[in-house]
Amino acid sequence: MTKSSLIELRGITKTYGTGDAVFNALNGIDLNISAGEFVAIMGPSGSGKSTLMNLLGCLDTPTSGHYSFQGIAVETLNKDQRSLIRRHALGFIFQGFNLLARTSALENVELPLLYRGYSGRQRHQMARKALASVGLPEKERNTPAELSGGQQQRVAIARAIVTNPATLFADEPTGNLDSRTTRDIMHLLLELNREQGITVIMVTHEDDVAAYAQRIVRVKDGLVASDELNPSSNPAT
């Protein structure tokens, strides 16, 4: 697959507060990510990695600098315009799953499709396909309480990919899972990246999880401390 530029950051800063309470979360980030890559972002608490993830996911805007996503200058967009990018091009996976407790797995996966105006029949078809792609075709009617942690995260992944996003953001996607389930989830993300060509950008503090990525970007004190290709990005099962 020919890779093209997807994300370009140039001199990105993010400042919170004013006066004596000012805090510089990002201090001039430069970063390129190509379409189809699997990138892990790592760093200690307070390093700026979560702030960087929020900016990349169009959940926030930089104080200064340039962010290009698919050629769009994100820093010039208003809240509604950034929302459109999230809705049509991005998918999100969170550590806490963020599933609606009283709705079925199928209904949880259908949620992003409601905002796109699909009919009920279309939503059902697309959600069933997404659940099947993460190995849960038989769990459509189960609520989150009836699923294991790993199954809940698979439902969350199905919800994230049901709209066929160009890019999938995963924020500590295995933080609440045991080691065996972690391997299962990471192999699923690897499969989505390699077989469907989805760009995966993942924040993690775990070295064994980051080992699945093609690149590991380490953030420290609001700067990119290192950005290296991972020669062992296909860990054994």
Is 138's pLDDT higher than 90?
yes
**Ranges of each domain in the chain:** 5-229
Query: Buried b / exposed e across 57-78, counting CB within 10 Å, b at 16+?
Result: bbeebbeebebbbeeeebbebe
| Residues contacting 47, CB < 8 A, separation 6+ | 219, 220, 221, 222
pLDDT band of residue 184 (cuts 50, 70, 90) is very high
Give the model's pLDDT for residue 6.
Answer: 94
Calculate the dihedral angle through the C-alpha atoms of 60, 218, 37, 5, rounding to the nearest 10 degrees: 60
What global pTM score does this model have?
0.91
Give the model's pLDDT for residue 4.
Answer: 72
Is 214's pLDDT higher than 80?
yes
- Name the superfamily (CATH) of residues 5-229: P-loop containing nucleotide triphosphate hydrolases (3.40.50.300)
Average predicted confidence (pLDDT) for the chain: 92
The predicted model gives 117-135 an average pLDDT of 93
| pLDDT tens, residue by residue, 53-91 | 999 999 999 999 999 999 999 999 999 999 999 988 999
Cross-strand bridge partners of residue 229: 215
Give the model's pLDDT for residue 3.
Answer: 54
Rounded to a whole number of angstroms, the distance between the first and last alpha carbons of the chain is: 25
| Residues contacting 124, CB < 8 A, separation 6+ | 106, 110
| Residues contacting 139, CB < 8 A, separation 6+ | 105, 131, 147, 151, 155
pLDDT band of residue 20 (cuts 50, 70, 90) is confident
Give the model's pLDDT for residue 176.
Answer: 86
Is 1's pLDDT higher than 50?
no
Give the model's pLDDT for residue 236.
Answer: 46
Helix, strand, coil % in the chain, rounded to nearest 5: 40, 25, 35
The predicted model gives 131-137 an average pLDDT of 94
pLDDT band of residue 234 (cuts 50, 70, 90) is low
Quote the CA–CA distance of 99 and 215 in Å, as a whole number: 29
Give the model's pLDDT for residue 175.
Answer: 87
Give the HSE-up count for residue 70: Cα atoms under 13 Å, Cβ half-sphere: 13
| Residues contacting 3, CB < 8 A, separation 6+ | 34, 35, 36, 37
| Residues contacting 107, CB < 8 A, separation 6+ | 100, 127
